[in-house]
């Protein structure tokens, strides 16, 4: 009798996806700039920062997804219900909205720079094109549902992975040096600044908001979440197991690509001037490894901007709906949030400076997303039997304290020119 795949096992595969979409936030143009700069300036010194950031990201994204799976609501929705004061909700929404706009700024600029590198398109026109294509991607989510949106974003993630990893096959890093980079240490204030930038570009508030909403949209009324009759909670337990695998796969991909960026620069661009900009890194890679790698890098940067800006717009719409009970169509919202990025490009502000500015703004939003997430997932009245264990809550608090401290250090170093 031929061997067949059981329906249960097949359904298990189809439970994967939301984390891969949220994981795109870990591969946005801000990550590219931070990782390439770190590798070019300090070689393998900050390998441990990328690894540590990815470990913390796993826990944070799992907690966000768990909140959406168990409650059937997103983090902004729950906060909107818990905040009784109108002005408190509006104030929280304002800071979250600024985070969403800053996210869009970085990603539209990254896409515009990529189009200029590939086709010589002026930055302003490139920003418009990036915005239009992102609206088409959001139309898939609005009209075809979350599953089709996941397919598109995962496809873009594959392009990102190939583009940023390809150079390592031509010029692989030194294994001993990579292992040495796992030892936590700094060289000077500049390395501290870059470490904070890497973490600030890795764990971003909008990814936390988005993941809880993505899990809700996929599993909110699914048969898996309802569970089998007579087996209380079995459906949610199964979904949480699948979610852990989903987050593990997503963070393994995102972490590997982020590490590949740093190793690519460390192996091929040490001491090369101008690599602190996306344009400079592209030029240096092209000169060192050839035009094919340069083109792949630019294509990956474009895919990074398109995918991450779509997820950012999704997060922004969820923030507004959850906190203000206002539902704005994703495409309409995309048009509104596109304006600040296009204004930056039209004025002629240096794209790299704008990217750095956006990361600073994102740093302000970290505590507002992380602290409520850890607190809510630790509450039995919110998650019942699925509330965090004590060790998980402690780890969540440690991650939150560490990330908030590092982001505060980033703000201080930027303000003082350190």
Instruction: Encode pLDDT of 282-294 as tens digits.
Output: 998 999 899 999 9
Q: Output the pLDDT for position 13.
A: 47
**CA–CA distance, 109 with 98 (Å, rounded to integer):** 16
Candidate from 41-55, 220-234, 381-395 with smallest mean pLDDT: 220-234
**CA–CA distance, 177 with 156 (Å, rounded to integer):** 31
**CA–CA distance, 323 with 56 (Å, rounded to integer):** 26
Residue pair 208/75 in contact (Cβ under 8 Å)? The answer is yes
pLDDT at residue 229 is higher than 60:
no
Tokens of 413: 């170093």
Q: Output the pLDDT for position 60.
A: 93
Q: Output the pLDDT for position 219.
A: 76
Residue pair 356/196 in contact (Cβ under 8 Å)? The answer is no
DSSP 4: -
Sorted by sequence, the CB contacts under 8 Å of residue 37 that are 6+ apart come out as 194, 197, 265, 275, 276, 281
Is residue 232 classed exposed, middle or buried when 0-12, 13-18 and 19+ CB atoms within 10 A define those classes? exposed
Q: pLDDT tens digits, residue range 349-379?
A: 888 777 767 777 777 788 899 999 999 999 9
* Domain ranges, residue 147: 12-416
Residue pair 246/57 in contact (Cβ under 8 Å)? The answer is no
Band of pLDDT at residue 204, cut at 50, 70 and 90: confident
Q: Distances from the Cα of 417 to the Cαs of 189, 300, 349, 352, in angstroms? A: 10, 31, 19, 16
- pLDDT over 90 for what percent of the chain? 38
- pLDDT over 70 for what percent of the chain? 89
pTM of structure: 0.87
7 located within any domain: no
Torsion region of 277: left, alpha or beta (phi above 0 gives left; psi -120 to 50 gives alpha): beta
Sorted by sequence, the CB contacts under 8 Å of residue 278 that are 6+ apart come out as 29, 32, 33, 36, 110, 113, 117, 301, 351, 352, 355
Q: Distances from the Cα of 149 to the Cαs of 206, 295, 322, in angstroms? A: 17, 26, 21
314 located within any domain: yes
Spell out the alpha helix ranges (H) of 348-389: 351-377, 380-383
Candidate from 27-31, 177-181, 193-197 with smallest mean pLDDT: 193-197
Place of tokens 């895919």: 303
5 located within any domain: no
Tokens of 196: 């904070």
Residue pair 163/29 in contact (Cβ under 8 Å)? The answer is no
Candidate from 178-182, 264-268, 319-323, 387-391 with smallest mean pLDDT: 319-323
Q: Output the pLDDT for position 418.
A: 59
300 located within any domain: yes
Nearest CA-CA partner of 159 in 39, 272, 253: 253
**CA–CA distance, 330 with 294 (Å, rounded to integer):** 33
Mean pLDDT over 169-182 rounds to 92
367 located within any domain: yes
Q: Output the pLDDT for position 293.
A: 93
**CA–CA distance, 206 with 219 (Å, rounded to integer):** 20
pLDDT at residue 230 is higher than 50:
no
Band of pLDDT at residue 414, cut at 50, 70 and 90: low
Long-range pairs for 360-363 at CB < 8 Å and ≥24 separation? Answer: 360/410, 360/411, 360/414, 361/98, 361/99, 361/102, 362/30, 362/99, 362/102, 362/103, 362/200, 362/201, 362/204, 362/205, 363/200, 363/407, 363/408, 363/410, 363/411
2 located within any domain: no
307 located within any domain: yes
Question: Domain with 304 in it: what CATH number?
Answer: 1.20.1740.10
Tokens of 140: 């898939």
3 located within any domain: no
Q: Output the pLDDT for position 78.
A: 95
Q: pLDDT tens digits, residue range 122-174?
A: 999 999 999 888 888 877 777 777 777 778 888 888 999 999 999 999 989 99
DSSP one-letter string for 32-83: HHHHHHHHHHHTTTTHHHHHHHHHHHHHHHHHHHHHHHHHSS-HHHHHHHH-
Band of pLDDT at residue 1, cut at 50, 70 and 90: very low
Place of tokens 């979250």: 96
**CA–CA distance, 398 with 144 (Å, rounded to integer):** 40
Number of domains in the chain: 1
Q: pLDDT tens digits, residue range 83-121?
A: 888 898 889 988 888 888 888 888 888 899 999 999 999
């Amino acid at each position: 009798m031929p061997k067949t795949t059981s329906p249960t096992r097949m359904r298990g595969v189809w439970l994967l996806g939301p984390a891969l979409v949220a994981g795109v936030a870990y591969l946005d143009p801000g990550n590219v700039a931070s990782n390439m700069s770190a590798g070019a300036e300090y070689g393998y010194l900050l390998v441990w920062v990328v690894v540590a950031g990815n470990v913390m990201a796993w826990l944070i994204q799992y907690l966000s997804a768990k909140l959406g799976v168990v409650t059937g609501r997103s983090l902004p929705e729950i906060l909107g219900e818990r905040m009784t004061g109108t002005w408190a909700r509006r104030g929280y929404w304002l800071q979250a909205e600024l985070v969403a706009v800053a996210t869009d700024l970085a990603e539209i600029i990254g896409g515009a720079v990529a189009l200029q590198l590939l086709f010589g398109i002026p930055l302003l026109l490139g920003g418009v094109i990036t915005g239009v294509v992102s609206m088409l991607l959001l139309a898939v989510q609005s009209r075809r549902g979350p599953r089709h949106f996941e397919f598109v974003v995962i496809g873009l993630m594959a392009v990102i992975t190939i583009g940023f990893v390809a150079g390592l096959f031509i010029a692989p890093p030194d294994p001993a040096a990579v292992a040495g980079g796992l030892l936590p240490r700094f060289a000077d204030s500049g390395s501290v600044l870059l470490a904070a930038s890497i973490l600030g570009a890795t764990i971003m508030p909008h990814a936390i908001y988005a993941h809880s909403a993505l899990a809700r949209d996929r599993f909110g009324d699914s048969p898996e979440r309802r569970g089998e009759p007579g087996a209380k909670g079995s459906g949610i337990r199964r979904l949480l197991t699948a979610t852990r695998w989903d987050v593990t796969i997503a963070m393994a991909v995102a972490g590997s690509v982020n590490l590949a960026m740093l190793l690519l620069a460390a192996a091929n661009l040490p001491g090369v001037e101008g690599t602190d900009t996306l344009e400079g890194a592209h030029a240096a890679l092209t000169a060192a490894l050839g035009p094919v790698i340069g083109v792949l890098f630019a294509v990956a940067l474009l895919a990074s901007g398109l995918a991450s800006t779509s997820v950012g717009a999704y997060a922004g719409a969820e923030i507004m709906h959850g906190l203000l009970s206002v539902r704005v169509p994703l495409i309409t919202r995309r048009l509104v949030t596109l304006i600040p990025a296009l204004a930056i490009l039209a004025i002629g502000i240096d794209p790299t400076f704008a990217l750095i500015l956006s990361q600073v703004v994102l740093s302000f939003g970290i505590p507002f997303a992380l602290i409520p997430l850890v607190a809510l997932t630790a509450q039995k009245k919110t998650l019942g039997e699925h509330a965090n264990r004590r060790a998980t809550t402690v780890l969540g608090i440690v991650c939150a304290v560490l990330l908030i401290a590092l982001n505060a250090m980033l703000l201080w170093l930027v303000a003082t020119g350190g």
